[in-house]
Amino acid sequence: MPRSFVSQFLLPLCRGGALHVGRPLGERAVARLLALAATGGPTDGAGIVPDPFLALAAARRELAARYLPTLAAPPLDEVTVRLGAALHNLLALGHPDLAGPSLARRQARIAESALALAAAAPPLSARETVNRHSLLARLPEIVRVDSTVRFWIGRQTFVGQTPPRRVTALPALRRVRVDRTRRSWLREIGIPAVGRRAFLALNAASPLGEALDPLRLDPPIGWGRILPILRFPGIARVVAGGALEIGVDPAGDALAGALYRFAGFHDPPFGMPASSDAVGFALTFLAHLVWLDVLFGGRRDPARADRAEPSVGTGLELAVVLTAAARTRPSLVWPGDVPEAGDLGRAFRARLDTMAARAETGAASQLAAATAIAEFALAPAGRPLAL
């Protein structure tokens, strides 16, 4: 089991290919794999590490190099194995063989095991952040192909399974037609409600994927989960760069909307709780995005020129939050070493004025709530905020 789990699940998860989802993994199976990984991987008779473990390390290093180019190949440590097993169990929640009268009970049991496996503290360094993310970086790319085989006397549906050859045999004689539907697991199929807590725990343990995808709809991005890694400067730059790629206005809107939930203690109980320092840091990060846009946003990437222009309302949430923060305490959005009289300062001031005008005309009623968030960021004891 351990070796096939590496070669048929962890390796395709990083390198691409068929992601084999089988029987959900329990603590005992994970312990066996951990024991194997602790020895540096299995060896054959000559003491050579076999191919899947090397290939997995190479693929993870290639993924990690996108964020930290000098990083060595990530090790297959305990947290990595547990996160991989947790994801496997989450994927197993949609396995067609579980269908039956006791489906809900079975799913609850699998989700509980996934939650236990995914329960890990946030990463303690940028290196650890990227190491964990290297396993889950391609999670948004996971797709499921559902096939419906129609033939002369009926049809059969195969969920995430390749139709066997006996079903598609004699295609002309039996008038076989195969309809394939390809759907993204994360965006279109979605996490079953019973596995939602486990998925949030997975994101809390490896938050970089969530931080790089602020526009995710369900579950939406949560500051409590991504803040622990934003305090690493290298990771914060990567996340800010990702937000700039998406566009400061749409990404900023999503992050600003998440700030209401975070400051109002409406986020699920995963990740760090809201405090004045955390909310203040989030506000400065949002302002940092706008600073980057003022500095570098004038050049439109020709590769993105064919994309649709954002709608009229895009950027309003960000404008409201930053306007309230700038009015409450300018230092929340303005670094101390940038003079207002310089070219850069004047450009940022003009941007703030534009945002303030938008906020006044488009969402004056929200300014009070956003001001409460900014005041909460300045409160000494971080008293709870009623939103």
Q: Which of residues 130-149 bind another protein (CB under 8 A)?
A: 138, 141-145, 148
Instruction: Give yes or no for a contact between 30 and 114, defined as CB atoms under 8 angstroms apart.
Output: no
Instruction: Give, in order, the Cα–Cα distances in Å from 50 to each of 32, 53, 168, 261.
Output: 17, 6, 36, 47
Taking the C-alpha atoms of residue 15 and residue 107, their distance in angstroms, rounded to an integer, is 28
Residues 6+ apart with CB under 8 A from 57: 73, 74, 76
Cβ at position 355, least distance to another protein in Å = 15
Residue 181, SS3 per DSSP: strand
Q: Does 161 bind another protein (CB under 8 A)?
A: yes
Q: Does 24 bind another protein (CB under 8 A)?
A: yes
Among 257, 297, 345, 382, binds another protein (CB under 8 A): 257
Among 25, 81, 126, 211, binds another protein (CB under 8 A): 25
Q: Which is nearer to another protein, 228 or 252 (CB)?
A: 252
Taking the C-alpha atoms of residue 367 and residue 323, their distance in angstroms, rounded to an integer, is 8
Q: 309 is written with which tokens?
A: 């222009």
Q: Which is nearer to another protein, 50 or 234 (CB)?
A: 50
Q: Does 27 bind another protein (CB under 8 A)?
A: yes
Q: Which is nearer to another protein, 98 or 344 (CB)?
A: 98
Q: Which is nearer to another protein, 308 or 341 (CB)?
A: 308
Interface region with another protein, contact rule CB under 8 A, candidates 55-63, 76-84, 226-234, 348-356: 55-63
Taking the C-alpha atoms of residue 88 and residue 5, their distance in angstroms, rounded to an integer, is 9
Residues 6+ apart with CB under 8 A from 327: 356, 371, 374
Q: Does 54 bind another protein (CB under 8 A)?
A: yes
Q: In the stretch 314-343, what mask flags binding to another protein with x, by CB under 8 A? A: --xx--------------------------
Q: Does 361 bind another protein (CB under 8 A)?
A: no
Residues 92-121 that bind another protein (CB under 8 A): 95-98, 103-104, 106-110, 112-113, 116
Taking the C-alpha atoms of residue 368 and residue 386, their distance in angstroms, rounded to an integer, is 12
Residues 61-90 that bind another protein (CB under 8 A): 61-63, 73
Q: Which is nearer to another protein, 22 or 42 (CB)?
A: 22
**CA 149 from chain center: how many Å?**
34
Residues 197-236 that bind another protein (CB under 8 A): 217-220
Give the residues across from 348 on adjacent strands.
Answer: none
Taking the C-alpha atoms of residue 251 and residue 241, their distance in angstroms, rounded to an integer, is 11
Q: Does 366 bind another protein (CB under 8 A)?
A: yes
Residues 271-310 that bind another protein (CB under 8 A): none
Question: Cis bond leading into 219, ω under 30°?
Answer: yes
Among 43, 51, 269, 338, binds another protein (CB under 8 A): 51
